[in-house]
Amino acid sequence: MKQITQIGASVDEALHLALQKLGVTRQQVEVEVLQEGKKGFLGFGAKQAEIRVTLKEEQEQSNTPNVEATEVIELVENLANASDLKEDKEFQQVEGNDNNELLEDVNVIQNVDPIEKAKEYVTNIAREMGIQDLKIEVENKGKRLLFKLDSEKAALLIGKHGATLNALQQLTQLVVNNTAKTFISVTLDVENYRDRRQATLEQLADRMADKAVRTGRKVVLEPMPSYERKVIHNALANRIDIETYSEGTEPNRYLVIEPLK
Instruction: Please check whether residue 172 is in contact with residue 147, taking contact to mean a CB–CB distance below 8 angstroms.
Output: yes
- pLDDT at site 64: 39
Q: Is 48 buried (19+), middle (13-18) or exposed (0-12) by CB count in 10 A?
A: middle
pTM for the structure as a whole: 0.57
- pLDDT at site 58: 53
Give the Å distances, CA to CA, from 102 to 31, 144, 145, 147, 223. Answer: 46, 10, 10, 15, 35
- pLDDT at site 21: 75
Instruction: Please check whether residue 232 is in contact with residue 201, taking contact to mean a CB–CB distance below 8 angstroms.
Output: yes
- pLDDT at site 26: 77
Which has the closest alpha carbon to 230: 194, 255, 257? Answer: 255
Which has the closest alpha carbon to 15: 60, 47, 52? Answer: 52
- pLDDT at site 230: 92
State the Cα–Cα distance between residues 134 and 138, nearest whole angstrom. Answer: 13
Instruction: Give a three-class secondary structure readout of 57-95.
Output: HHHHHCCCCCHHHHHHHHHHHHHHHCCCCCCHHHHHHHH
Instruction: Please check whether residue 209 is in contact with residue 254, taking contact to mean a CB–CB distance below 8 angstroms.
Output: no
Instruction: Please check whether residue 141 is in contact with residue 101, taking contact to mean a CB–CB distance below 8 angstroms.
Output: no
Instruction: Please check whether residue 80 is in contact with residue 174, taking contact to mean a CB–CB distance below 8 angstroms.
Output: yes
Instruction: Please check whether residue 181 is in contact with residue 106, taking contact to mean a CB–CB distance below 8 angstroms.
Output: yes
Counting as low any pLDDT under 70, the low residues of the chain are 1, 23, 39-46, 57-111
Q: For 168-184, what is each residue's pLDDT tens digit?
A: 998 898 888 887 778 88
CATH number of 67-191: 3.30.300.20
- pLDDT at site 44: 57
- pLDDT at site 100: 40
CATH 3.30.300.20 location in the chain: 67-191
Instruction: Please check whether residue 151 is in contact with residue 184, taking contact to mean a CB–CB distance below 8 angstroms.
Output: no
- pLDDT at site 49: 85
Contact residues for 55 (Cβ-Cβ < 8 A; gap 6+): 1, 2, 3, 22, 24, 28, 29
Instruction: Please check whether residue 55 is in contact with residue 28, taking contact to mean a CB–CB distance below 8 angstroms.
Output: yes
- pLDDT at site 22: 73
Which has the closest alpha carbon to 91: 148, 169, 163? Answer: 169
